[in-house]
């Protein structure tokens, strides 16, 4: 898939080769080695609230962040993420080489990597796992597509897996051939889709292979207990190659969806980390010293249905954008540190977003009048903001609809919809304005702009623009970062200043609570916190 | 021989008798009073009170009962030649003066860990910085009170560095977090004078430190307003029961919420009665095979758990008010049908039905004119006891996110929001107490009334 | 009696069958499917998923296949909790629900009946009024109000009960059971009081009194059975309502019960899970109603063969 082949190859290559001596702790890891002995006198047990029971523990079938947090503990891929800046770091592969031109990646697996039943992790394990993962039931199958032949194999245009660009050189060397240079490839290899699994055990146990008594993984922890909807318990994996580095002995994962209850547990010291908060009590929570908030790679916005009146008229869309006071929403309503934004893509990887349309009520009214709506003119059809059930979305929708009432004189309804119905309505373009959000999959603006291509399934606004599509195509083949950012700026200008099929509201932040005693937990824009690095003091 | 008949009591209908008994049942009368009082309030008061339940004043946030502020909106828009956009109660004035002070507010949050500064954050945008030198800040620094208002001013400048110990005395004893407000306000008060003619803006003048400027348009932010003077009179708004997180008046929201909850309760109950009465009457009257089949059908529906049926309906169809009436009513009619059928079965064999049959009345006539009066009693009792149930069921649906939408929140929804906003130290208590009390009044009243009615309709009751 | 029982029992599988059929088709009418998400599925994935979970083909053919597996006791896979089958999920989550439900019912029965009795015996006294007032408040507010309030009171202020969680028969069960049982206790109290007052005014009680029996004997031996009739008749609907109330309590106290599965499977369009829970609850409620009718029949000699 062309979109993946983006930046300067040089950037990523430099990061990919770690320190020379496998036994000493490389520089980037030194921060996660506890100073002193205090930690040895603290019970190394960590409990956190995952918010929901995982849909599955099979890394090739999972789709959500709560599941991926757990997979990260039970399995390890060739490459892992640096906990603070998300750079690819050695996992099962202790080093890798990239050929000139970035087409061939050779991963050298460490000799001491073992499964939790003592068997060694070999390159064959990865081959068979990836073969299993390259299966249409896997929703993230597209992460394999940079590999030569993978896309064709998935569509059954290619039937012999041996022709896909994955080759086992020997028991601890695996070579991957891409069909085009893709410097972002290492990021993908760290995804759960690329984790190794014991295929023969899966065939033996079928969907019961993830039960504690059956599951075998190669990660820093093993699954000790899975009481559905009650708790999940991990224990340190004694066969893990880096076991001396892992400090936590046990981890308990709770699936509490009532966040008020979770907060009570947190105050009772029964919970050490809450990644989600009861937002209605934000004022109270901010005064809790354990509260944290960090920018996150995501954007909260409203979609316009450009195929229906009145939003088929760009002037009307612009009027609504101009009439929205985002600063009020973020600073006076949400008060959680959200960054009000009139741009679509948050600043990421050196990209500087455009200004967007500034809040200007008079201009908004003029535009609306120019489009022929308002007093003594056409009346607007009955409009509604739809959103999926959530107290936060409700608050924002009600506040914004009132803003439009005061600023534009328009009466808008707000309708909450059950999740599946909401998705359905969006997909069928059966709405006027819909609340939405987009979380970036990887740290590059392309993940934000690509969804508004004409035929993209995530577009859901009915908006098509040839210029936009052409710009998207051109950015895929541009490698120079400065050039690319320039094109991204043009894309963004089209999106939020000229055509406005979307109304950006704010850049996401990550809010939560974490106890003082927890260390090794770093904030990053993708909210990835591998348990391997965490300890308590 | 003729005996004189003294004191012939008029023959009262069972309904009349029941009514007379009801008057002696004190608790029931109290219940009736509550119900009538609340119903009248929710229907009539909104006509006089003014504000819409959806009107937001976001800058206020949640304020306790009795809070007063100048009468203005979040944005007060004045454009010459156009209608004024401000508080509806001011639209009749000729001269409006808004006294404002532009001010900006920035929240700063500092935390420590093991005695050393851990994070320094400017909350908008969650911007973390490594060092803060307050002498470089423009504006006045205050401690932030628990409700977000400015507290004690921090006069002395200080420096905070990450991983260094903070200045002594800055953090309150034992506290690891410090919330501060950086407030930049104009020194002078600006006088914004707007003249109106029949709600149309005719002139706009802005005065500040003896500078008078005329303007074509002016937008005043609600939070900048210090006072509003309309034709010489200062105007402010008092929120009887406080406001919610969006600054909406709680009193009016409770009134509208009560309206919706009562409406749903009453109409859904009526729906269930209409269906249940007919069904039960037919089943009970005909008895035998017809009755068996019809009652087995009822069993099937009883077996389908209510919540599931309602969820399915909510999910399949547009969640309008009408759907609520139908869905909630559809669940309850089973009970009515059973009650009615039971009554009819026992009455069927009674004498006056025999008499009616012998006199040649058709089956339909018998059902609808003879048996019905005797089933009215239980049905009325059922009504007063079911309306509370329906209101509770609607609250439950609101809790799981399938409540009424696209209207002002129902009472159950308000109670749910109140529970969620309640802080550990009882913050935002009014958001829970007021809707909950209202709900208790309505349901308590209905239940007591229902009890009284049930006692009254029962001929064995000796009061 | 026996014939009555038999006749009712015969209907149970028929009712269930109709229930299953209606639900099966109804559920597939709902907008949205089990695989829709906010990220578009890559092409081919949806087909593959549909096939894997036996959702391909026309609805009638799916229905047929479902029935075939159902008869063999296989309720199908869960579309949402992919690592478990519906049978397993029900087996895992039914015990906590049952335990919670029974405990709640027992607590509410005891508390309610005793309160009602005391109120009736001391009728029109302050004790009576205050107990009844409390009872009415118990049915005037939704369950999700009491839960967090009790939680805060007993866990955070008094620290005597745990905040949440399920550990079988333990302290952890008290708060959820009380929260769940509160509205029922209130209703039982009112029903008992009303029933008791009614019985006590009957002629045969006056006769018993005039015969010189102690108040205690009168109440316990003669009056109680009749007074409890309304309570028993309410048990049927009570058991049904406990299932809906349990959803809220399970959510607030994080109890791994079936109530949540119920609602969430509907919201997730987890077709097989929905069917499984409907069948389960349907059977449970039908049997409970039957049991209640039988008990009622024993208590009230007038009823019995009214069919």
Ordered DSSP codes for A288-343 = STTEEEEEEEEEEEEEE-TTSTTTTSHHHHHHHHHT--HHIIIIIII-S--EE-SS
CB–CB contact A283 B420 (8 Å): no
Chain B residues touching residue A283 (CB < 8 angstroms): 61, 146-148, 427
First-last CA distance in chain C: 11
Taking the Cβ of residue A530 and every Cβ of chain B, the question of whether any pair is shorter than 8 Å is answered with: no
Higher-pLDDT residue of B103 and B212 is B212
Taking the Cβ of residue B55 and every Cβ of chain A, the question of whether any pair is shorter than 8 Å is answered with: yes
Whole-number Å distance between alpha carbons of A24 and A244: 12
| CA-based R_g, chain C, Å | 24
**H or E element at residue B237:** strand B233-239
CB–CB contact C45 A141 (8 Å): yes
Q: How far is A193 from chain B (nearest CA, A)?
A: 32
Q: What's the complex ipTM? A: 0.87
CB–CB contact C240 B302 (8 Å): yes
pLDDT of residue B305: 65
Taking the Cβ of residue C267 and every Cβ of chain B, the question of whether any pair is shorter than 8 Å is answered with: yes
Size of interface A-C (CB pairs under 8 A): 116
pLDDT digits (tens, 9 = 90+) for B146-200: 877 888 998 888 999 999 998 888 888 889 999 999 998 888 889 999 998 888 8
CA-based torsion, A356, A359, A363, A367: positive or negative: positive
What the block records as the tokens of B183 is 């407030």
First-last CA distance in chain A: 46
Chain C residue nearest residue B316, CA to CA: C30
Chain B residues touching residue A391 (CB < 8 angstroms): 417, 420
CB–CB contact B303 C248 (8 Å): no
pLDDT of residue B29: 84
Of C32, C89, C166, the CB nearest to A424: C32
Q: Is the peptide bond before A310 cis (omega within 30 degrees of 0)?
A: yes
B8 exposed, middle or buried (CB, 10 Å; 0-12, 13-18, 19+)?
exposed
Taking the Cβ of residue A415 and every Cβ of chain B, the question of whether any pair is shorter than 8 Å is answered with: yes
Of A280, A339, A403, the CB nearest to B125: A339
pLDDT-wise least confident of A122-126, A465-469, B7-11: B7-11
Please, which chains are in contact with A (at least 3 CB pairs closer than 8 A)? B, C
Taking the Cβ of residue B151 and every Cβ of chain A, the question of whether any pair is shorter than 8 Å is answered with: no
User: Any long-range contacts for B33-40 (C-beta under 8 Å, 24+ apart)?
Assistant: B33/B445, B34/B441, B34/B442, B34/B444, B34/B445, B34/B448, B35/B442, B35/B445, B35/B446, B35/B449, B37/B441, B38/B258, B38/B438, B38/B441, B38/B442, B38/B445, B39/B262
Three-state DSSP string of A82-148: CCCCCCEEECCEEEEEECHHHCEEEEEECCCCECCCCCECCHHHHHHHHHHHCCCCCCCHHHHCCEC
Taking the Cβ of residue B463 and every Cβ of chain A, the question of whether any pair is shorter than 8 Å is answered with: no
- pTM score of the predicted model: 0.88
Chain A residue nearest residue C144, CA to CA: A258
Quote the mean pLDDT of chain C.
82
pLDDT digits (tens, 9 = 90+) for A81-98: 999 888 899 999 999 999
Q: What b/e sequence results for C157-193 when a residue is b if at least 16 CB atoms lie within 10 Å of its CB, and e otherwise?
A: eeeebbbbbbeeeeebbbbbbbbbbbbbbbbbbbbbb
Whole-number Å distance between alpha carbons of B429 and C152: 14
Of A137, A228, A458, the CB nearest to C89: A228
Of A284, A333, A361, the CB nearest to B77: A361
Nearest to C143 by CA among C183, C185, C190: C183
pLDDT of residue B401: 85
The residue whose two tokens read 């906590």 is C96
Q: Tell which of B25, B38, B307 to mutate to test the C interface (max C CBs under 10 Å).
A: B307
Nearest to A232 by CA among A81, A66, A116: A66
Whole-number Å distance between alpha carbons of C233 and A357: 66
DSSP for A154-171 reads: HTTS---GGGSSEEEEET
What the block records as the tokens of B418 is 């109140």
> What residues contact residue A210 under an 8 Å CB cut-off, 6+ apart?
A56, A57, A58, A223, A226, C83
Nearest to A383 by CA among A362, A366, A368: A368
Whole-number Å distance between alpha carbons of A512 and A278: 10
Helix, strand or coil, per DSSP, at residue B167? coil
Taking the Cβ of residue A208 and every Cβ of chain C, the question of whether any pair is shorter than 8 Å is answered with: yes
Strand B177-185 versus strand B103-113 pairing type:
antiparallel
pLDDT-wise least confident of A9-23, B389-403, C127-141: A9-23
pLDDT of residue B9: 53
Of C37, C38, C256, the CB nearest to A228: C256
CB–CB contact B427 A330 (8 Å): no
Please, which chains are in contact with C (at least 3 CB pairs closer than 8 A)? A, B
Please, which chains are in contact with B (at least 3 CB pairs closer than 8 A)? A, C
CB–CB contact B56 A402 (8 Å): yes
pLDDT of residue A5: 36
Taking every pair of Cα atoms in chain A, the longest distance, rounded to a whole number of angstroms, is: 80
Of A288, A362, A399, the CB nearest to B246: A399
Q: At what angle do helices B250-286 and B288-303 cross, to 10 degrees?
A: 150
Number of other CB atoms surrounding residue B268 within 10 Å: 27
Q: Tell which of C33, C137, C144, C289 to mutate to test the B interface (max B CBs under 10 Å).
A: C144
φ and ψ at B231, to 5 degrees? 50, 45
Angle at alpha carbon of residue A167, lines to A162 and A173, rounded to 5°: 155
Whole-number Å distance between alpha carbons of A253 and A46: 8
pLDDT digits (tens, 9 = 90+) for C82-113: 889 999 999 999 899 889 999 999 999 999 98
Residue C222: pLDDT over 70:
no
Whole-number Å distance between alpha carbons of C95 and C78: 19
Three-state DSSP string of chain C: CHHHHHHHHHHHHHHHHHHHHHHHHHHHHCCCCCCCCCCCCCCCHHHHHHHHCCCCCCHHHHHHHHHHHHHCCCCCECCCCCCCEHHHHHHHHHHHHHHHHHHHHHHHHHHHHHHHHHHHHCCCCHHHHHHHHHHHHHCCCCHHHHHHHHHHHHHHHCCCCCCCCCCCCCHHHHHHHHHHHHHHHHHHHHHHHHHHHHHHCCHHHHHHHHCCCCHHHHHHHHHHHHHHHHHHHHHHHHHHHHHHHHHHHHHHHCCCCHHHHHHHHHHHCCHHHHHHHHHHHHHHHHHHHHHHHHHHHHHCCCCCCCC
In chain A, which among 234-263 make CB contacts under 8 A with chain B?
260
CB–CB contact C82 A58 (8 Å): yes
Taking the Cβ of residue A516 and every Cβ of chain B, the question of whether any pair is shorter than 8 Å is answered with: yes
Residue A10: pLDDT over 50:
no
Taking the Cβ of residue C282 and every Cβ of chain B, the question of whether any pair is shorter than 8 Å is answered with: yes
Residue A488: pLDDT over 70:
yes
Angle at alpha carbon of residue A48, lines to A44 and A52, rounded to 5°: 150
Q: Which residues, listed in sequence order, are joined to residue A170 by a DSSP beta bridge?
A: A173
Taking the Cβ of residue B73 and every Cβ of chain A, the question of whether any pair is shorter than 8 Å is answered with: yes
Q: Tell which of C30, C140, C204, C289 to mutate to test the B interface (max B CBs under 10 Å).
A: C140
Residue B423: pLDDT over 90:
no
Chain C residue nearest residue A205, CA to CA: C83
Whole-number Å distance between alpha carbons of C76 and C193: 48
Chain A residue nearest residue B425, CA to CA: A284
pLDDT of residue B13: 65
Q: Tell which of C8, C136, C189 to mutate to test the B interface (max B CBs under 10 Å).
A: C136
pLDDT digits (tens, 9 = 90+) for C34-59: 888 777 777 778 888 888 888 888 88
Quote the mean pLDDT of chain B.
83
In chain A, which among 264-283 make CB contacts under 8 A with chain B?
267, 278, 280-281, 283
Chain B residues touching residue C282 (CB < 8 angstroms): 303-305
pLDDT digits (tens, 9 = 90+) for B361-403: 666 666 566 666 666 777 788 888 889 989 998 998 888 888 8
pLDDT of residue B434: 95
% of chain C with per-residue pLDDT over 70: 92
Whole-number Å distance between alpha carbons of A533 and A220: 10
Helix, strand or coil, per DSSP, at residue A351? coil
Of C248, C263, C307, the CB nearest to B311: C263
Nearest to C80 by CA among C277, C268, C250: C268
CB–CB contact A142 C155 (8 Å): no
Size of interface A-B (CB pairs under 8 A): 132
Taking the Cβ of residue A363 and every Cβ of chain B, the question of whether any pair is shorter than 8 Å is answered with: no
Chain C residues touching residue B312 (CB < 8 angstroms): 26-27, 30, 266
Q: Tell which of C56, C96, C254 to mutate to test the A interface (max A CBs under 10 Å).
A: C254
Chain B residue nearest residue A347, CA to CA: B125
Q: How far is C29 from chain A (nearest CA, A)?
A: 12
Is the CB of residue A402 less than 8 Å from the CB of residue A410? no
% of chain A with per-residue pLDDT over 70: 95
Angle at alpha carbon of residue B458, lines to B455 and B459, rounded to 5°: 130
Is the CB of residue A19 less than 8 Å from the CB of residue A26? yes
Number of other CB atoms surrounding residue C290 within 10 Å: 18
Is the CB of residue B214 less than 8 Å from the CB of residue B204? yes
pLDDT digits (tens, 9 = 90+) for A297-343: 999 999 999 998 889 999 999 999 999 999 999 988 998 889 999 99
């Amino acid at each position: 898939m062309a979109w993946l082949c983006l930046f300067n190859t040089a950037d990523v290559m430099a990061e990919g080769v770690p320190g020379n001596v496998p036994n000493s702790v490389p520089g980037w890891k030194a921060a996660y080695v506890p100073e002193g002995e205090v930690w040895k006198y603290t019970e190394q047990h960590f409990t956190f609230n995952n918010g929901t029971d995982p849909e599955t523990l099979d890394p090739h079938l999972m789709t959500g962040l709560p599941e991926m947090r757990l997979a990260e503990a039970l399995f390890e891929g060739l490459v892992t993420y640096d906990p603070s800046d998300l750079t690819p770091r050695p996992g099962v592969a202790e080093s890798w080489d990239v050929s000139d031109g970035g087409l061939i990646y050779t991963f050298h697996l460490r000799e001491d990597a073992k499964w939790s039943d003592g068997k060694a992790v070999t390159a064959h394990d990865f081959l068979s796992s990836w073969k299993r993962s390259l299966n249409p039931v896997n929703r993230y199958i597209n992460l394999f597509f940079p590999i030569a032949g993978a896309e064709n194999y998935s569509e059954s245009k290619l039937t012999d897996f041996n022709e896909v660009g994955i080759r086992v050189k020997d028991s601890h060397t695996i070579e991957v051939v891409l069909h085009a240079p893709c410097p972002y490839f290492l990021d993908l290899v760290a995804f759960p889709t690329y984790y190794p699994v014991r295929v023969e055990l899966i065939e033996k146990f079928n969907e019961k292979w993830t039960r504690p008594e059956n599951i075998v993984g190669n990660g820093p922890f093993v699954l000790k207990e899975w009481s559905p909807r009650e708790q999940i318990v991990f224990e340190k994996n004694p066969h893990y190659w880096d076991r001396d580095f892992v400090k936590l002995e046990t981890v308990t994962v709770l699936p509490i969806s009532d966040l008020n209850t979770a907060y009570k547990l947190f105050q009772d010291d029964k919970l050490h980390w809450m990644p989600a908060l009861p937002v209605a009590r934000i004022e109270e929570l901010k005064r809790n010293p354990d509260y944290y908030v960090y920018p996150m790679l995501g954007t909260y916005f409203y979609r316009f249905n450009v195929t229906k009146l009145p939003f088929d008229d760009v002037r009307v869309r612009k009027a609504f954008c101009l009439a929205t006071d985002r600063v009020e929403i973020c600073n006076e309503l949400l008060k959680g540190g959200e960054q009000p934004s009139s741009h679509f893509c948050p600043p990421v990887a050196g990209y500087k977003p455009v200004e967007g349309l500034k809040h200007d009520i008079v201009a908004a009214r003029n535009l609306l009048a120019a489009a022929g709506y308002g007093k003594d003119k056409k009346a607007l059809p009955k409009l509604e903001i739809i959103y999926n059930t959530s107290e936060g979305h409700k608050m924002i929708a009600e506040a914004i609809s009132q803003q439009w009432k005061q600023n534009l004189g328009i009466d808008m309804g707000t309708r909450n919809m059950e999740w599946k119905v909401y998705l359905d309505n969006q997909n069928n373009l059966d709405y006027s304005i819909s609340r939405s959000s987009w979380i970036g999959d990887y740290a590059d603006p392309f993940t934000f702009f690509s969804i508004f291509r004409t035929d993209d399934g995530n577009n859901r606004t009915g908006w098509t623009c040839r210029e936009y599509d052409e710009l998207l195509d051109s950015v895929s083949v541009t490698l120079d970062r400065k050039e690319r950012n320039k094109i991204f700026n043009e894309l963004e200008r089209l999106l939020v200043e000229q055509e406005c099929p979307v109304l950006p509201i704010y850049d996401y932040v990550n809010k939560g609570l974490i106890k003082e005693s927890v260390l090794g937990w770093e904030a990053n824009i993708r909210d990835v916190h591998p348990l391997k690095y965490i300890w308590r003091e | 021989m003729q005996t004189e008949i003294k004191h012939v009591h008029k023959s009262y209908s069972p309904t009349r008798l029941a009514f007379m008994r009801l008057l002696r049942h004190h608790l029931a009368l109290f219940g009736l009073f509550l119900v009538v009082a609340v119903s009248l309030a929710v229907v009539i008061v909104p006509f006089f009170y003014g504000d819409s339940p959806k009107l937001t004043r976001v800058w206020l946030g949640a304020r306790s009962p009795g809070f007063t502020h100048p009468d203005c909106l979040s944005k007060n828009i004045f454009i010459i030649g156009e209608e004024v956009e401000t508080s509806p109660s001011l639209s009749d004035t000729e001269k409006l003066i808004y006294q404002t002070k532009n001010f900006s507010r920035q929240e700063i949050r500092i935390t420590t860990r093991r005695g050393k500064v851990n994070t320094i954050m400017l909350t908008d945008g969650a911007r973390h910085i490594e060092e803060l030198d307050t002498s470089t800040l423009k504006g006045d620094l205050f401690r932030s009170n628990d409700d977000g208002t400015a507290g004690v001013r921090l006069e002395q400048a200080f420096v905070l560095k990450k991983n260094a110990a903070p200045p002594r005395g800055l953090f309150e004893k034992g506290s690891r977090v410090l919330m501060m407000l950086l407030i930049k306000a104009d020194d002078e008060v600006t006088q914004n004078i707007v003249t109106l003619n029949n709600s149309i803006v005719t002139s706009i003048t802005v005065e500040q430190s003896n500078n008078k400027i005329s303007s074509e348009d002016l937008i005043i932010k609600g939070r900048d307003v210090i006072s509003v003077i309309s034709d010489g009179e200062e105007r402010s708004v008092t929120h009887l029961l406080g406001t919610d997180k969006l600054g909406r008046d709680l009193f009016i929201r409770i009134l509208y919420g009560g309206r919706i909850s009562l409406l749903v309760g009453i109409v859904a109950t009526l729906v269930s009665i209409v269906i249940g009465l007919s069904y039960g009457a037919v089943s009970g009257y005909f008895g035998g095979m017809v009755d068996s089949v019809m009652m087995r059908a009822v069993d099937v529906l009883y077996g389908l758990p209510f919540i599931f049926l309602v969820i399915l309906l909510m999910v399949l169809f547009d969640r309008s008010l009408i759907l609520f009436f139908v869905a909630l009513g559809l669940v309850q009619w089973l009970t009515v049908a059973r009650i009615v059928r039971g009554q009819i079965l026992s009455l069927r064999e009674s004498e006056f039905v025999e008499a009616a049959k012998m006199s040649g009345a058709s089956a339909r006539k018998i059902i609808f004119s003879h048996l019905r009066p005797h089933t009215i009693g239980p049905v009325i009792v059922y009504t007063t006891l079911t309306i509370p149930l329906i209101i509770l069921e609607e609250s439950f649906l609101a809790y799981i996110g399938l409540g009424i939408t696209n209207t002002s929140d129902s009472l159950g929804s308000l109670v749910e929001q109140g529970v969620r906003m309640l802080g550990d130290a009882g913050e935002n208590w009014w958001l829970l107490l007021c809707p909950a009390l209202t709900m208790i009044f309505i349901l308590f009243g209905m239940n007591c009334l229902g009890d009284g009615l049930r006692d009254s309709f029962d001929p064995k009751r000796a009061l | 009696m026996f014939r009555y029982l038999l006749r009712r029992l015969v209907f149970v599988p028929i009712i269930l069958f109709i229930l299953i059929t209606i639900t099966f088709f109804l559920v597939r009418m709902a907008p949205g499917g089990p695989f829709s998400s906010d990220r578009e599925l890559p092409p081919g994935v949806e087909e593959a998923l549909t096939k894997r979970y036996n959702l391909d083909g026309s609805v009638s053919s799916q229905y047929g296949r479902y029935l075939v597996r159902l008869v063999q006791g296989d309720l199908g896979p869960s579309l949402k909790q992919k690592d478990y089958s519906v049978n397993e999920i029900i087996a895992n989550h039914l015990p906590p629900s049952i335990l919670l439900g029974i405990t709640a019912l027992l607590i509410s029965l005891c508390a309610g009946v005793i309160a009602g009795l005391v109120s009736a015996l001391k009728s029109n006294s302050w004790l009576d009024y205050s107990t009844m007032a409390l009872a009415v408040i118990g049915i005037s507010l939704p369950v999700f109000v009491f839960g967090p309030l009790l939680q805060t009171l007993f866990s955070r202020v008094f620290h005597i009960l745990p905040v949440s969680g399920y550990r079988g028969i333990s302290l952890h069960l008290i708060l959820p059971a009380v929260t769940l049982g509160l509205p029922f206790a209130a209703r039982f109290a009112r029903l008992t009081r009303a029933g008791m007052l009614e019985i006590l005014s009957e002629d045969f009680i006056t006769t018993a009194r005039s015969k010189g029996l102690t108040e205690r004997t009168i109440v316990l031996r003669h009056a109680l059975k009749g007074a409890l009739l309304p309570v028993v008749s309410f048990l049927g609907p009570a058991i049904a309502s406990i299932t809906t109330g349990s959803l809220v309590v399970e959510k607030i106290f994080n109890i791994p019960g079936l109530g949540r599965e119920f609602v969430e499977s509907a919201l997730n369009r987890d077709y097989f899970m929905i069917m499984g829970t409907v069948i389960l609850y349907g059977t449970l409620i039908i049997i409970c109603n039957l049991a209640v009718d039988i008990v009622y029949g024993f208590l009230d000699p007038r009823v019995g063969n009214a069919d």
